[in-house]
Amino acid sequence: MKTKTSFFAETIAIGSELLVGGRVDTNSVFIADKLASVGIVLRFKSIVGDQKQDIAHAIRVAVRRADVVLMTGGLGPTVDDCTREAVASATGYRLTRRREALDMMTTRLAQWGRTPSPTQLRQAMIPTGATVLNNPIGSAPGFSLIWKKTLLFVLPGVPREMEPMVVHEVVPRLQAWLSDHRRTSTTPIIRQVFHTFGLPESDVDAKLRGLLPGGVKIDLGLLASPMEVMVSLTTRGTGAPKHRKAGHGAMAEDALLPFAREIRARLGDWLFGEGADTLEEVVGRTLSTRGLTLAVAESCTGGLISHRLTQVPGSSVYLDRGVVCYSNQSKMDMLGVSEKMLARYGAVSAEVASAMAKGIRERGLVSIGLSVTGIAGPGGATATKPVGLVYVGLDTGTGGNKTQEFHFHGDRSTIKLRSSQAALDLLRRWLITSGHT
Amino acid sequence: MKTKTSFFAETIAIGSELLVGGRVDTNSVFIADKLASVGIVLRFKSIVGDQKQDIAHAIRVAVRRADVVLMTGGLGPTVDDCTREAVASATGYRLTRRREALDMMTTRLAQWGRTPSPTQLRQAMIPTGATVLNNPIGSAPGFSLIWKKTLLFVLPGVPREMEPMVVHEVVPRLQAWLSDHRRTSTTPIIRQVFHTFGLPESDVDAKLRGLLPGGVKIDLGLLASPMEVMVSLTTRGTGAPKHRKAGHGAMAEDALLPFAREIRARLGDWLFGEGADTLEEVVGRTLSTRGLTLAVAESCTGGLISHRLTQVPGSSVYLDRGVVCYSNQSKMDMLGVSEKMLARYGAVSAEVASAMAKGIRERGLVSIGLSVTGIAGPGGATATKPVGLVYVGLDTGTGGNKTQEFHFHGDRSTIKLRSSQAALDLLRRWLITSGHT
Total number of domains constituting chain A: 3
From the CA of B1, how many Å to the nearest CA of chain A?
A: 10
> Cβ separation of A329 and B320 shorter than 8 Å?
yes
CATH number for the domain that contains residue A44: 3.40.980.10
Residue B403 falls within a domain, yes or no?
yes
Residues of B in contact with A159 (CB under 8 A): none
**Which residue type occupies A212?**
L
Torsions phi, psi for B59 (to 5 deg): -65, -45
Q: Residue A193 is part of a domain; what is its CATH number?
A: 3.30.70.2860
Note whether B215 contacts A: Cβ–Cβ < 8 A.
Answer: no
Q: Say yes or no: A317 contacts chain B, CB-CB below 8 A.
A: no
With H, G, I as helix, E, B as strand and everything else as coil, classify residue A272: strand
Contact A105, A125 (CB under 8 A): no
Restricting to B residues 15-34, those with a Cβ less than 8 Å away from any Cβ of A are: 16-26, 29, 32
Residues present in chain B in total: 437
- Whether residues B20 and A42 touch (CB distance < 8 A) is answered with yes
Would you say residue B90 has pLDDT above 80? yes
What is the mean pLDDT of the segment spanning B287-316? 97
Partner residue opposite A302 with nearest CB, options B21, B306, B364: B306
Cβ within 8 Å of residue A180, ≥6 positions away: none
Q: B247 and B284 in one domain?
A: no
Closest Cα in chain A, distance from residue B377 (Å): 7
Number of inter-chain CB pairs under 8 A, A vs B: 212
Determine contact: A102 vs chain B, CB below 8 A.
no
B1 assigned to some structural domain: no
Residues 6+ apart with CB under 8 A from A13: A25, A27, A28, A45, A46, A47, A48, A71, A72, A73, A157
The DSSP secondary structure of A280-324, one letter per residue, reads HHHHHHHHHHHT--EEEEESTTTTHHHHHHTTSTTGGGTEEEEEE
Is the preceding peptide bond at B241 cis, omega within 30 degrees of 0? no
Q: How close, in Å, is residue B20 to chain A by CA atoms? A: 6
Question: What is the structure's pLDDT at A250?
Answer: 56
- B61 touching A (Cβ < 8 Å): yes
pLDDT at site A193: 92
- Please compute the mean of the pLDDT values over residues B214-226 and round it to a whole number: 86
> CA B193 to CA B182: how far, in whole Å?
30
Per the domain annotation, does B212 fall within a domain?
yes
Whole-angstrom Cα distance, residue A422 to residue A402?
13
Among B20, B24, B26, whose Cβ lies nearest the Cβ of A191? Answer: B20
Contact criterion met (CB < 8 Å) for B48 and A44: yes
Q: Which of A164, A181, A198 is the last residue of a domain?
A: A181
Interface of B with A in 128-187 (CB under 8 A): none
Task: Measure the CA–CA gap between A298 and B208, rounded to whole angstroms.
Answer: 44
Q: Among residues B63, B88, B72, B57, which one has the least CA distance to residue B148?
A: B63
**Interface contact flag, B310 A324, Cβ < 8 Å:** yes
Kindly report the three-state secondary structure assignment for every residue of chain B: CCCCCCCEEEEEEECCHHHHCCCCCCHHHHHHHHHHHCCCEEEEEEEECCCHHHHHHHHHHHHHHCCEEEEECCCCCCCCCCHHHHHHHHHCCCEEECHHHHHHHHHHHHHCCCCCCCCHHHHHEEECCCEEECCCCCCCCEEEEEECCEEEEEECCCHHHHHHHHHHHHHHHHHHHHHHHCCCCCCCEEEEEEEECCCCHHHHHHHCCCCCCCCCCCEEEEEEECCEEEEEEEEECCCCCHHHHHHHHHHHHHHHHHHHHHHHHHHHHHEEEECCCCHHHHHHHHHHHHCCCEEEEECCCCCHHHHHHCCCCCHHHCEEEEEEECCHHHHHHHHCCCHHHHHHHCCCCHHHHHHHHHHHHHHHCCCEEEEEEECCCCCCCCCCCCCCEEEEEEECHHHCEEEEEEECCCCHHHHHHHHHHHHHHHHHHHHHHHHHC
Residues B21 and B113 in one domain: yes
Instruction: Please name the member of B47, B234, B323 whose beta carbon is closest to the beta carbon of A321.
Output: B323
One domain for residues A151 and A227: no
Residue B3 lies in a domain: no
Q: Return d(Cα A213, Cα A204) in angstroms, integer.
A: 18
Put simply, whether A361 touches B (Cβ < 8 Å) is no
- Interface check B37 vs A, CB under 8 A: no
Q: Tell whether A328 lies on the interface with B, counting CB pairs under 8 A.
A: no
Judging contacts by C-beta atoms under 8 Å, the chain A residues touching residue B412 are 311, 313
Q: Do B330 and A313 touch (CB under 8 A)?
A: no
Q: Does A43 touch chain B (CB under 8 A)?
A: yes
Output B432 or B189, whichever has higher pLDDT. B432
| A327 and A358 share one domain | yes
pLDDT at A245: 43
Angle, helix B52-65 to helix A52-65, in steps of 10 degrees: 150
Listed by number, the residues of chain B in 249-308 with a beta carbon closer than 8 Å to a beta carbon of chain A are 296, 298, 301-307
- ipTM of the assembly? 0.85
How far B433 CA sits from the closest chain A CA (Å)? 27
Whole-angstrom Cα distance, residue B301 to residue B373? 8
Indicate if B287 and B393 belong to the same structural domain. Answer: yes
Do residues B68 and B150 lie in contact, with contact meaning Cβ atoms separated by under 8 Å?
yes
Query: Within this chain, do residues B161 and B205 fall inside the same structural domain, yes or no?
Result: no
- Same domain, residue pair B303 and B250: no
Q: Which amino acid is at B218?
A: I
How far is the alpha carbon of A209 from chain B, nearest alpha carbon, in Å? 15
Q: What is the CATH number of the domain that holds B283?
A: 3.90.950.20
Residue A68, chain B, CB below 8 Å: the answer is no
* Residues across chain A: 437
Same domain for A20 and A158, yes or no, is yes
Asked if A48 and A171 sit in the same domain, the reply is yes
For residue A2, being part of any structural domain is answered with: no
**Å from A275 to nearest chain B CA?**
11
More reliable by pLDDT, B190 or B51: B51
Q: Is A24 helix (H, G, I), strand (E, B) or coil?
A: coil
Smallest Cβ–Cβ distance between B412 and the set A1, A311, A329 belongs to A311
Give the structural domain span for A428.
Answer: 279-436
> What does the pLDDT look like over B368-420, one tens digit per residue?
999 999 999 999 899 899 999 999 999 999 988 999 999 998 889 999 999 99
B215: closest CA of chain A, how far (Å): 17
Ordered DSSP codes for A114-181: ----TTGGGGGEEETTPEEE--SSSS--EEEEEETTEEEEEE-S-HHHHHHHIIIIIHHHHHHHHHHH
Asked whether residue A199 is assigned to any structural domain, the reply reads: yes
- B312 shares a domain with B400: yes
Name the 3-class secondary structure at A345. helix
Q: Do B169 and B203 share a domain, yes or no? A: no
- Chain A hits for B376, CB-CB cut-off 8 Å, are 310
Please give the pLDDT value at position A251.
63
pLDDT, one tens digit for every residue, chain A (437 residues): 333 467 899 999 999 989 987 789 999 999 999 998 888 999 999 999 999 999 999 999 999 999 999 999 999 887 788 999 999 999 999 999 999 999 999 998 898 888 888 888 889 999 999 999 999 988 899 999 999 999 999 999 999 899 999 999 999 999 988 888 764 545 778 889 999 999 988 889 899 999 999 888 898 888 888 889 999 998 876 544 333 444 445 566 688 999 999 999 999 999 999 998 999 999 999 999 999 999 999 999 999 999 999 999 999 999 999 999 989 999 999 999 999 999 999 999 999 999 999 999 999 999 999 999 999 999 989 989 999 999 999 999 998 999 999 999 888 999 999 999 999 999 999 999 998 64
Q: pLDDT tens-digit profile of B226-283?
A: 899 999 998 876 544 333 344 445 566 688 999 999 999 999 999 999 998 999 999 9
Out of A160, A181, A202, a domain closes at A181
Judge whether residue B94 has pLDDT over 60: yes
Say which residues have a Cβ less than 8 Å from residue A59's Cβ, sequence separation at least 6: A12, A69, A71, A86, A87, A90, A91, A152
With an 8 Å Cβ cutoff, is A119 touching chain B? no
User: Which chain A residues touch B320 with a CB distance below 8 Å?
Assistant: 326-327, 329-330
Using the Cβ of A226 and the Cβ atoms of chain B, whether some distance falls under 8 Å is answered with no
- Which are the contacts of B237, defined by CB distance < 8 A and separation ≥ 6? B39, B187, B188, B190, B248, B249, B251, B252
Chain A contact for B341 (CB, 8 A cutoff): no
Q: Do B327 and A316 touch (CB under 8 A)?
A: yes
Q: Which pLDDT score, from 0 to 100, does residue B331 have?
A: 97
Output the pLDDT for position A183. 47
B48 and A CB contact within 8 Å: yes
| Integer Cα distance of B13 and B153 in angstroms | 12
Task: Name every chain A residue with its beta carbon within 8 A of the beta carbon of B305.
Answer: 303
Same-domain status, B301 and B257: no
Q: Which residues of chain B have a CB within 8 Å of the CB of A232?
A: 21
Query: Over 80: is that where the pLDDT of B152 sits?
Result: yes
Residue at which a domain ends, from A147, A181, A215: A181
Residues 70 through 99 of chain B touching chain A, CB cutoff 8 Å: none
